[in-house]
Structures are given as C-alpha cells and as structure tokens.
A = this chain, B = another copy of it.
Amino acid sequence: MKIVTISREFGSGGRELGKRLAEELNCDYYDKEIIAEIAERCKVNEEYAEYLLSHNFPSSDNITLRNSFHIPATLQMTHIQVLCEQSNVIKEIAKTGRDCVIVGRNADLLLEDYCPYNIFVCADTETKLKRCREYAKDGEVMSDKEILKKMKRIDKNRMKTRAIISDLPWGDKQTYNLIVNITGWKIKDLVPLVAGFVNKWFEEE
C-alpha cells in the first residue's frame, strides 16, 4: 500500500501538488474530505471544525450543534477532542488499505506505522504571495501585508500543533523523505518527478 503525505507551508502550492500527484498515481486524495468527516462526527459545521483545527490552544467556545433536538444545543468541544477525531479519521483511511495522498493534518506522524512517503513543500515568500493573490477566494481582497500576516499566523499554528505531537520541529528535514522547494517551478512539471520518487520508494519494499 502506498501512502503519501504532504506537509506544506501556507501558500506554497502543496495542496495542488498533492491533488495532481494523486491523479498521477491514480489513487485516493484526502484533504478537505477529512474536515467534512470530522465535522459530521462531531456534529459541528465544517468551518468551525476547520477553525478549531487551525488554532492551537483549547478554548471553551460554545459550538452550535447541527442536531439540537437530540443533544443539547451547545457543548464544550475542546481542540483535543477534534484533534482526536482527526486522528481517528486518518487512521481509518489507512486501514482501508487503499493507496492515497493525504495533505496536511500531521498524517506523516499519525500514520508512522504504515511507513508513508513523507513530502514537505516549501517556497520563497514572493512565490507564496503570488499564489495567494491568484487563488484568493471570490470577493476576498487582501493587501500583501495582510496575506503575509495570515501566512505567518497559519504556519505558526502548524508549528505549534506539531510541537504537541513531535519532538522534531515542523518542517525539520529529518522528518521528511523529500523536501521540494517549489520556487521557480510550474507545479504540473514537478508532478511526474515527485511521482518517480514515490513509485521507486514503494517498488523497493
């Protein structure tokens, strides 16, 4: 079974690389799908699940439940609980035994026992800024300063989440099999090259 995990700096294009890589390898792809499943299980909406997962310290925010008839309308849902559900969902994906690419969510650590091929994607600031400008959601207008602030905040959160579950810092090269700096590349050109590493890695087993 081939499991490829992709960790990435915000704005680097790791998600696009992951999606295209899954197509190239003809296997399943997981990213937002995981959020949807967690939201379903925790009976919160996806945005809130994502909010909790991208912030680090347990808060005591109230969560409005989808089904307010059977369960009380609000509930203290800690980050830890959401993180646990995330861990369950990711492990269940692996248990299906199907080849897949999983983007983010520290899947490399959670699935350590499955020996995934772990890729980290980075890029220089200018490349990431350009990407964020191009891929801004409809109607979202942000200045470069605001994008940089968001970039910093999200990566800092990833760093902090990582620190909870690993001794090695987020992005540390000892943790990954391959670190690809996307600066100067068209992502579509990188896909077959990265797939080459993945295919050879699993062929050896």
Contact = CB atoms under 8 A, between A and B. Distances in A.
Nearest to A115: B184
B174 A181 contact: yes
Contacts of A171: 173
Identical chains in the assembly:
2
Contacts of A124: 174
Contacts of A201: 184-185
A197 interface: yes
A181 B189 contact: no
Interface residues of A, number: 24
Contacts of A183: 177
Contact of A173 (B177, B181, B186, B197): B181
Nearest to A171: B173
A44 interface: no
A189 B120 CA distance: 21
Nearest to A120: B173
A189 B186 CA distance: 25
Interface in A108-164: 120, 122, 124
A148 B138 CA distance: 54
A181 B178 contact: yes
A58 interface: no
A180 B178 contact: yes
A122 B173 contact: yes
Interface of A: 120, 122, 124, 171, 173-174, 176-181, 183-186, 189, 192-193, 196-197, 200-201, 204
13 contacts: A122-B174, A124-B174, A173-B173, A173-B181, A174-B181, A176-B181, A178-B178, A178-B179, A179-B181, A186-B204, A189-B200, A189-B204, A192-B196
7 shortest interchain CB distances as A-B pairs: A179-B179, A193-B196, A177-B181, A173-B179, A122-B173, A193-B197, A196-B196
